[in-house]
């Protein structure tokens, strides 16, 4: 009977296509928007992936990684004095203007690493060596810098130069880094050189990067450091969560994307629910005839559920496929963020499943209420 | 079977048609009401009828007299308030809804006025449905369906859509569907209403030839006086009651 149920579904082509289109659109909208949201959220924590250390120390007022409240350099020494700290190094992190050879400006994310240890170094180098950062005026740029400079007609390569705050920066390497929330290219240099590049101010230390000693969990070390007056320490995981929640609570991003996702759900429920209801309504006479001929309610319910799940499965597949294609083909080389983790697939799949079950439930209710005797009317 | 049934003999009983052991349907004092309050309508006001195995019983009467309601109640597709209905000795009131459904699936074949063939299924699939519903494997169900379709003269239209068939052919498919699972009771609701006179007669001839045997009872609700001659007995209904049951040819001679 289930084969015949599918034949009944495929036979009504107009409604079948309408159901597929409605659910595909719903699935596409939810998956694509949720992926862009995830991409944006991922951008907000890019620094935590680009500079990988177990414990971050910042000013006590700092709430997330993209917020910098400069500290005194002496804070590095204070952190080093905390029991359980194996080592602690300074990090400079700020947005500065780079002046290109043609005179135009490009904001860059200047990241100053401890010159001795180069802790926080880029994870993957395309060209050059990280150690060359110790050369005079040396900087390493990421792939975003290459793309951004290229848009302005400048081909950045090892040996190229540009200026930051009237200081010459010479490219000694090209790395790969996760892009930042604001999209500025990462420019790595040493901490001391970063202070030379940066406009002078009384406090210039952005973060202290900490490695706990063996046997001391990062959370325990972070808690001890936080007891120091004016400092706040986070484990990398805490800082990640804190940053995400800060953006969720303090920006309109979740509301904006949530509204579109909700719209997708409403469209899905309305289109699929109504079309499926019409489909069942038009076939009610045949269902009642089957009921009269001895079809059990569970058989009819199974037929309706199978029909709903079939259109749901196809619609979901098409929607997710389109979203993935959109992410890959349209956004790959562009600016917008796109990140499609399995959780987004599970989320949109769950919503589509809910819509299908809801639609099937309406249909089943109608069939349950139908007297088999209606076939005689 | 219910050989010891305590039902009284119905009016118009034809002793030639068998003994009480061959009762197919025995209905007595059936009351069915639709609606509530001011909108309440009593469609059956104590209708009684008997139908035997081996006979073709027609139920006739003016529109709104309760023919179709009575038919629906007899075959267990509609509940009723009071009275008693036994079908092959089984008391429908004593069965649960699921039991009535199973009973219908095993014992009742349906032929509807509007055929009710699913247009998206081919002829073979439409006919094999009663067997599939009772759990028969698809290959066996389709073999049985093909055999019965051959019998009704549609052996070459197995893969046709019902939409490609004429009204007469569709009703033949419906007859095949009603018979494929070898039910003992065939219920027909206005089987010729959507057909022209010649096709209607052919359908009834076919129905008599393939459906009527000693083990089976056919009950036909109809308005169509052109097919009265095919009946063994005709029950005349009026105002929710069976007023009179006529023997073979009596009604035809009297009214047509």
**pLDDT, tens only, B38-82:** 788 888 888 899 988 888 889 988 888 888 899 889 888 888 888
Average pLDDT over residues B201-222: 80
pLDDT score of A218: 93
Q: What residues form DSSP beta bridges with A232?
A: A58
Q: What residues form DSSP beta bridges with B110?
A: B187
pLDDT score of A111: 92
pLDDT score of A332: 62
Tell me, yes or no, if A294 comes closer than 8 A to chain B by beta carbon: yes
Q: Give residues with Cβ within 8 angstroms of A172, minimum separation 6.
A: A128, A129, A132, A133, A135, A138, A139, A140, A158
pLDDT score of A201: 86
pLDDT greater than 70 at residue B6 = no
Helix (H, G, I), strand (E, B) or coil at A31: helix
DSSP symbols for B26-65: EEEEEEEEES-GGG-EEEEEEEEEEEETT-EEEEE-STTS
Residue B10 contacts residue B53 (beta carbons within 8 Å)? no
Helix (H, G, I), strand (E, B) or coil at B106: helix
Q: What residues form DSSP beta bridges with B248?
A: none
pLDDT greater than 70 at residue B255 = no
**Contact between B101 and A3 using a beta-carbon 8 Å cutoff:** no
A372: chain B residues, CB-CB within 8 Å? 77-78, 104
ipTM of the shown complex? 0.80
pLDDT score of A331: 65
Give the closest of B113, B114, B130 to A294, CB-based. B130
For residue A319, give how far its alpha carbon lies from the nearest alpha carbon of chain B (Å). 27
pLDDT score of A191: 93
**Strand locations in chain B, DSSP E?**
23-34, 41-52, 56-60, 82-87, 90-91, 108-111, 185-189, 217-221, 233-238, 241-246
pLDDT score of B14: 39
pLDDT score of A335: 61
Q: Give the side-chain half-sphere CA count within 13 A for A154.
A: 22
For residue A300, give how far its alpha carbon lies from the nearest alpha carbon of chain B (Å). 10
> In which residue ranges of chain A is pLDDT below 70?
330-336, 377
For residue A14, give how far its alpha carbon lies from the nearest alpha carbon of chain B (Å). 13
Tell me, yes or no, if B120 comes closer than 8 A to chain A by beta carbon: yes
**Contact between B105 and A377 using a beta-carbon 8 Å cutoff:** no
pLDDT score of B256: 54
For residue B233, give how far its alpha carbon lies from the nearest alpha carbon of chain A (Å). 22
For residue A330, the 8-state DSSP code is I
A369 phi, psi to nearest 5 deg: -75, -20
pLDDT score of A334: 59
Tell me, yes or no, if A301 comes closer than 8 A to chain B by beta carbon: no
**Contact between A286 and B129 using a beta-carbon 8 Å cutoff:** no
Residue A205 contacts residue A113 (beta carbons within 8 Å)? no
Using pLDDT thresholds of 50, 70 and 90, give the confidence band for residue B127.
very high
pLDDT score of B18: 40
Model confidence pLDDT, tens digit, residues A285-311: 888 888 888 888 888 889 989 999 999
Tell me, yes or no, if A2 comes closer than 8 A to chain B by beta carbon: no
Q: Give the predicted TM-score (pTM) of the model.
A: 0.75
Model confidence pLDDT, tens digit, residues B72-108: 898 888 888 889 998 888 888 888 888 888 888 888 8
Model confidence pLDDT, tens digit, residues A18-33: 889 988 988 998 888 8
Chain A residues 245-284 with CB within 8 Å of chain B: 283
Q: What residues form DSSP beta bridges with B86?
A: B26, B91
Average pLDDT over residues B223-247: 86
pLDDT score of A333: 62
**Contact between A293 and B138 using a beta-carbon 8 Å cutoff:** no
Average pLDDT over residues B247-253: 70
For residue A345, give how far its alpha carbon lies from the nearest alpha carbon of chain B (Å). 34
Give the closest of A1, A296, A376 to B189, CB-based. A376
For residue B87, give how far its alpha carbon lies from the nearest alpha carbon of chain A (Å). 15
H or E element at residue A260: helix A253-292
**Contact between B105 and A294 using a beta-carbon 8 Å cutoff:** yes
Q: Residue A160 — left, alpha, or beta (φ > 0 → left; ψ -120 to 50 → alpha)? A: beta
Chain B residues 181-200 with CB within 8 Å of chain A: 189
**Contact between B101 and A371 using a beta-carbon 8 Å cutoff:** no
Average pLDDT over residues B173-185: 88
Determine whether B46 is exposed, middle or buried from the number of CB atoms within 10 Å of its CB (0-12, 13-18, 19+): middle
Tell me, yes or no, if B71 comes closer than 8 A to chain A by beta carbon: yes
Q: Which of A286, A291, A292 has the most B C-beta neighbours within 10 Å, making it the best mutation to test the interface with B?
A: A292
pLDDT score of A285: 83
pLDDT score of A78: 92
CA distance linking residue B220 with residue A129, whole number of Å = 95
């Amino acid at each position: 009977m289930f084969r015949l149920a599918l034949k009944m579904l495929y036979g009504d082509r107009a409604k079948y296509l309408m159901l597929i289109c409605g659910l595909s659109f719903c699935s596409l909208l939810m998956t694509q928007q949720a992926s862009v949201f995830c991409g944006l959220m991922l951008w907000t924590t890019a620094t935590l992936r680009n500079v990988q250390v177990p414990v971050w120390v910042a000013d006590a007022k700092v709430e997330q990684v993209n917020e910098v409240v400069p500290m005194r350099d002496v804070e590095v020494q204070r952190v080093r004095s905390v029991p359980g700290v194996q080592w602690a190094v300074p990090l400079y992190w700020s947005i500065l203007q780079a002046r290109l050879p043609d005179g135009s400006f490009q904001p860059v994310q200047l990241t100053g690493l401890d010159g001795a240890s180069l802790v926080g170094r880029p994870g993957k180098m395309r060209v050059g060596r990280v150690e060359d950062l110790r050369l005079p005026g040396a900087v390493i740029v990421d792939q975003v810098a290459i793309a951004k400079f290229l848009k302005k007609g400048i081909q950045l390569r090892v040996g190229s130069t540009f200026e930051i705050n009237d200081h010459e920066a010479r490219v000694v390497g090209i790395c790969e880094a996760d892009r930042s929330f604001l999209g500025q290219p990462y420019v790595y240099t040493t901490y001391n050189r970063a202070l030379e590049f940066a406009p002078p101010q009384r406090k210039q230390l952005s973060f202290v990067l900490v490695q706990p000693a063996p046997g001391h969990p990062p959370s325990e070390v972070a808690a001890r450091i936080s007891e120091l007056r004016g400092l706040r320490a986070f484990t990398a995981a805490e800082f990640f969560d804190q940053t995400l929640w800060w953006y969720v609570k303090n920006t309109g991003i979740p509301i904006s994307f949530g509204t579109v996702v909700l719209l997708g759900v409403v469209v899905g429920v309305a289109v699929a629910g109504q079309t499926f209801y019409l489909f069942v309504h038009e076939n009610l006479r045949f269902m009642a005839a089957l009921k009269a001929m001895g079809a059990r309610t569970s058989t009819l319910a199974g037929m309706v559920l199978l029909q709903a799940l079939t259109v749901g499965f196809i619609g979901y597949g098409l929607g997710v496929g389109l979203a993935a294609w959109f992410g890959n083909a349209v956004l790959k080389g562009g600016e917008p963020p796109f990140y499609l983790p399995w959780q987004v697939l599970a989320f949109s799949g769950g919503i589509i499943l809910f819509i299908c079950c809801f639609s099937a439930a309406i249909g089943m209710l109608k069939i349950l209420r139908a007297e088999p005797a209606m076939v005689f009317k | 079977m219910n050989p010891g049934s305590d039902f009284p003999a119905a009016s118009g009983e034809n002793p030639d048609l068998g003994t009480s052991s061959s009762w197919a349907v025995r209905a007595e004092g059936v009351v069915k009401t639709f609606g509530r309050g001011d909108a309440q309508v009593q469609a059956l006001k104590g209708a009684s009828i008997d139908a035997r195995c081996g006979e073709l019983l027609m139920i006739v009467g003016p529109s709104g007299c309760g023919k179709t309601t009575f038919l629906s109640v007899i075959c267990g597709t509609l509940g009723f308030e009071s009275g008693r209905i036994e079908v092959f000795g089984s008391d429908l009131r004593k069965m649960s809804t699921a039991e009535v459904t199973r009973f219908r699936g095993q014992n009742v074949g349906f032929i509807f006025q509007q055929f009710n063939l699913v247009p998206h299924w081919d002829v073979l699939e439409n006919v094999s449905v009663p067997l599939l519903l009772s759990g028969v494997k698809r290959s066996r169900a389709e073999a049985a369906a093909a055999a019965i379709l051959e019998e009704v003269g549609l052996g070459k239209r197995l893969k046709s859509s019902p939409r490609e068939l004429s009204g007469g052919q569709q009703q033949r498919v419906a007859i095949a569907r009603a018979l494929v699972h070898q039910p003992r009771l065939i219920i027909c609701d206005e089987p010729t209403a959507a057909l022209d006179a010649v096709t209607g007669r052919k359908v009834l001839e076919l129905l008599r030839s393939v459906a009527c045997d000693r083990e089976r009872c056919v009950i036909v609700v109809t308005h169509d006086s052109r097919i009265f001659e095919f009946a063994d007995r005709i029950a005349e209904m009026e105002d929710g009651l069976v007023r009179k049951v006529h023997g073979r040819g009596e009604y035809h001679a009297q009214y047509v």
